[in-house]
Structure 1
Amino acid sequence: MYASRTEAHQHEKRRRKKKFRLLLTVNLMIIGLIIVAAAVWASMQDGGIFNKDNKQPTQNTAAVDDPDATQPAAEEDPVVSTDPVESSALDDSSAGGAANEEEGTKSEDDSQGGQSDQAATPNGGSTSSGSAAGDTVSLAFVGDILLAESVGDMMKQYGDEYPYQKARFHLSEPDLTAANLEYPVTDRGVPAENKQFVFKGDAGALPALKDAGFDVVTLANNHTLDQGVEGLLDTMDHLDSAGIDHVGAGKNDTEAFAPVIKEVQGIKVAYIGVSRVVPIGSWKAEKDRAGVAESYDTTRAKAAIKKAKEKADIVVVMVHWGIEKADLPEEYQRDFARQYIDSGADLVIGSHPHVLQGFEQYKGKWIAYSLGNFIFSAYPKEKQADTGVLNAVCTKAGDCDLKLDGMTNNLAQPKPLEAESAKALFDRLSTISFGVKLRADGTVVPK
């Protein structure tokens, strides 16, 4: 499945970035004008050229002669770090202000497809290669999403946009945002038997999910067929209607293993979804049977990755695997991730444990073993409340800088952590990662 990103859709993703820079520039210019006006007023008071008596001052006025006063730093261009590892995150209050600005205004260069002067990292820096804009793509990933059950109750009370309100900036800023959709979207179907948890959600929640910034979801998980094939087919239809691409499931195995390819700024990104957690064999997609793309054996997954790499610059594998609530991945997960990368994957993004797990780098490619829950319960307990948005800024060659924006989830609403709390989370993740660590700003780097 190939989904070319339209010019209007690309502009929608870049609009807030440009607006933030525009607001910053205008504010700095206003400050500069105020300082200049103050200097002119002082000159008038001291007998400057506009003084009605036209008297010459008897001594220099410090406010006029001070180069720092006449050439305020406010008129200079803001400095942008060229090292993504050292660049700090935008202050939440500034970011939120830019993100919540009224939707109507667009800069002139939007209509011409204008780009920023530097390629943005997850938080406003640039990639380590110093590439110009257009040479990188910013990708965001979150863990499990369930817009039903207790989360659905909160949405009925506060509105469909409620879950994303405190995280919207982090979801909408990247060029592409992806998640694991952990429930069928349907009002029909037959509930699966012999399962402890069986989910079902309403299609009315999907427009807000799209508006929050989500572009792609994987359906390769152990809840997609909670309402049978009927529920799966409804889910895919509703996602199509909402404009959200989906991978990892289909009317047959060909559809289930097929990638979605999104093109942004000349870079093609392929998403593939597979699951190593399938409740019963009949859930597996076959030639004549709808279902999910399974990866108990990596053969089909590796073939799909190789095929996608022929068509795309960057291949992302979103995989459902592991043990629930476990801090560390199983040994097979580390083995599978390497096989995926050897087959052409540039990023491997895991889900299913419902808690955050660590990171690893293999042959220069990144593995995130589990992104935990993002919006899954209104009342998560202990580590299940730890979450975040994982950002990857990637070159066309598939080299990525990785950074986690740490968050906590309470009452079905992820919100960014304060600096100290974020550092504590990053320190914990560093202890369960393999050969890498997270810095205080969430950047993932080799130890």
Structure 2
Amino acid sequence: MQLRWMVALLAVVSIFCAYLLWTDYNEREYIVPQQVSYPESDTKTETHKEVPPTNTMEKPVISTATIGMVGDVLLHNPIYKYPSFDFAFEAVKDKMESIDFLLANQESMPGGVELGLDTYPKFNSPKHIIRDLQTAGVDMLSFANNHTFDKGEVGVRNSIKHAQEYGMPYIGAYESFKDRKTHRVVDVNGIKVGILAYTYGTNVSLDLFDKEYLVNYIDRDRILMEMAQIKPLADIVIVSLHWGPEYVLEASEEQQELAKFVANAGADVIFGHHTHVLQRYDEIGDTKVFYSLGNFYSGQPFEYTNFGGIARLTVTKEQTGDEVKVTVNDPRFFPTGVVKDQQKRFTVVPLKDARTVPYSEEWVEEHVGVPKW
């Protein structure tokens, strides 16, 4: 009897011990250990290094170019008879060539010998004036002036044909509507320069029905239209204007009012000519205005008509990504004079070397209002 009680007691104890072991195991299995933080060590290894921010700003690309224009090229007697004009520009060729883009007002149309060479009042010049101006450094000719129709329609077409033969760009008179609609935009050192040209009128009137393209008259609606078309294509726009009363040293009220209109239309630079004498430089907002550049090469004998010069401006284009900033600054004027050389030929020289011209570089600098270069 005692033995059976002992066996039963041992069984109960065994079961109780097994229960305790099972309970302890399950409790330990579901206990979530607490997170323990440890102090940082001076010698710990970083798995994530902090990289300093890089400069993502693009560096600006800066381009510069010089632009300029010479005044009236008007081949009087005996100049129009010269077989070559290389000698005529030799003394100022270095100055002309130093300008990246140089315009000239070719006032006497180069219709060529086939039309009969002629002088005032109805000019017709030899075609090699185009070649020799190009050799001297001129990059484009303006044909919009009061002598455009001196030899009629054929004179215009011949002049354009001769310019094309020499590969000389031209502006202001055209051979067709298509030609006039072809925008003159020139890449100068990475800067896109647009050019427009107009004249107040012509000495000879033609019936321009269906041929309005033969010359660009000053027409405000046309200026607005052509400006709107060329502005999106160019970084800057030059407007060449044949205007103003002849032989007057100061810009007229009409010139000044028109300059404001053209400036407000979007011109960055205005180069004026026709007066045959120098007029002052001015600025209308950011627009640079040379009202008249005088005579560059002619045989006119009147006071103030035997000297002129070369206008120059510096254009800077700064491009950062899609952002473009263009400025036109540093207006300068190089004075020149027309004298006779030892062979009695009319030639262009720096004004300081023009002994027969009674006006000095200092007078020109004060009158025009910009420094020489």
TM-score (norm. length: structure 2): 0.73
Q: Do 1:349 and 1:367's aligned partners in 2 also have CA atoms closer than 8 Å? A: yes
Q: 1:325 aligns with which of 239, 247, 256?
A: 247
Matched, 1:266 2:190: yes
Contact 1:253 1:293 in 2 (8 A): no
Tell me the equivalent position of 1:249.
173
3-state SS, counterpart of residue 282 of structure 1: coil
Residue 254 of structure 1: CA displacement?
5.8
Q: CA deviation at 1:298?
A: 1.2
Where does the alignment leave 5 or more consecutive residues of structure 2 unmatched? 1-59, 318-325, 341-345, 354-358
Is the 1:182–1:221 contact (alpha carbons within 8 Å) kept by the matching residues of 2? yes
1:330–1:254 CA distance, 2 compared to 1 (3 A): farther
1:381-405 per-position Cα deviation (integer Å, ceiling 9, x unaligned): 3211121111111123142221001
In structure 2, relative to structure 1, the CA distance for the partners of 1:294 and 1:256 (3 Å cut) is: farther
Rounded Cα–Cα distance in structure 1 between residues aligned with 2:209 and 2:176: 5
Contact 2:76–2:120, Cα closer than 8 Å, also in 1: no
CA separation of 1:281 and 1:191: change in aligned 2, threshold 3 A: farther
Query: Are residues 1:346 and 2:268 paired?
Result: yes
Matched-pair contact (CA < 8 Å) for 1:136–1:393: yes
Conserved in 2, the CA contact under 8 Å of 1:320 and 1:350?
Answer: yes
Change (3 A) 1:286 1:211: farther
Equivalent pairs, count: 296
Q: Deviations over 1:17-70 (max 9, x none)?
A: xxxxxxxxxxxxxxxxxxxxxxxxxxxxxxxxxxxxxxxxxxxxxxxxxxxxxx
Q: Over aligned residues, Cα RMSD in angstroms?
A: 2.7
Matching residue within 89, 107, 120 for 1:164: 89
In structure 2, relative to structure 1, the CA distance for the partners of 1:425 and 1:309 (3 Å cut) is same
- Paired with 1:306 and 1:167, the residues of 2 have a C-alpha distance of 36
TM-aligned CA distance change 1:342 to 1:251, over 3 Å:
same
Aligned residues of 1:302 and 1:343 also touching (Cα < 8 A): yes
CA distance in 2 between partners of 1:340 and 1:257 (Å): 19
Q: Which residue of 1 aligns with 2:65?
A: 137
Could you report, residue by residue, the CA deviation over 1:143-163 in whole angstroms, capped at 9, with x for unpaired residues? 01124532234x34xx42011
Match of 2:216 in 1: 293
Larger Rg belongs to: 2
CA distance in 1 between counterparts of 2:168 and 2:301 reads: 26
Change in CA separation of 1:280 and 1:191 when aligned onto 2, cut-off 3 Å: farther
The one-letter amino acid paired with 1:413 is T
Structure with greater contact order relative to length (CA < 8 Å, sep ≥ 6): 2
* Displacement after TM superposition at 1:176 (Å): 0.9
Note the C-alpha offset of 1:290. Answer: 4.7
What is the one-letter code of the residue matched to 1:140? G
**1:151 equivalent in alignment to 2:74:** no
1:134 is displaced (CA, Å) by: 5.3
Aligned: 1:220 with 2:144: yes
- Give the whole-Å Cα distance in 2 for the aligned partners of 1:262 and 1:290: 21
Change (3 A) 1:170 1:276: same
User: Helix, strand or coil: the match of 2:305?
Assistant: helix
Identity of aligned residues (%): 24
Displacement, 1:139? 0.8
Residue 159 (structure 2) pairs with residue 235 (structure 1): yes
What is residue 418 of structure 1 aligned with on the other side? 352
Deviations 1:149-206 (A, max 9, x none): 32234x34xx4201101110111111111010112222345999xx961001112332
1:418 match: secondary structure: helix
Q: What TM-score do you get using the length of structure 1 for normalisation?
A: 0.61
Match among 185, 200, 224 for residue 276 of structure 1: 200
Compared with structure 1, are the counterparts of its residues 175 and 189 closer, same or farther at alpha carbon in structure 2 (3 Å cutoff)? same
- Inter-CA distance 189–256: structure 2 relative to 1 (3 Å threshold): farther
In structure 2, distance between residues paired with 1:203 and 1:190: 12
Partner of 2:34: none
- Secondary structure, aligned partner of 1:205: helix
Identify unmatched segments of 5+ residues in structure 1: 1-131, 430-436
CA contact (8 A) 2:149 2:202 kept: no
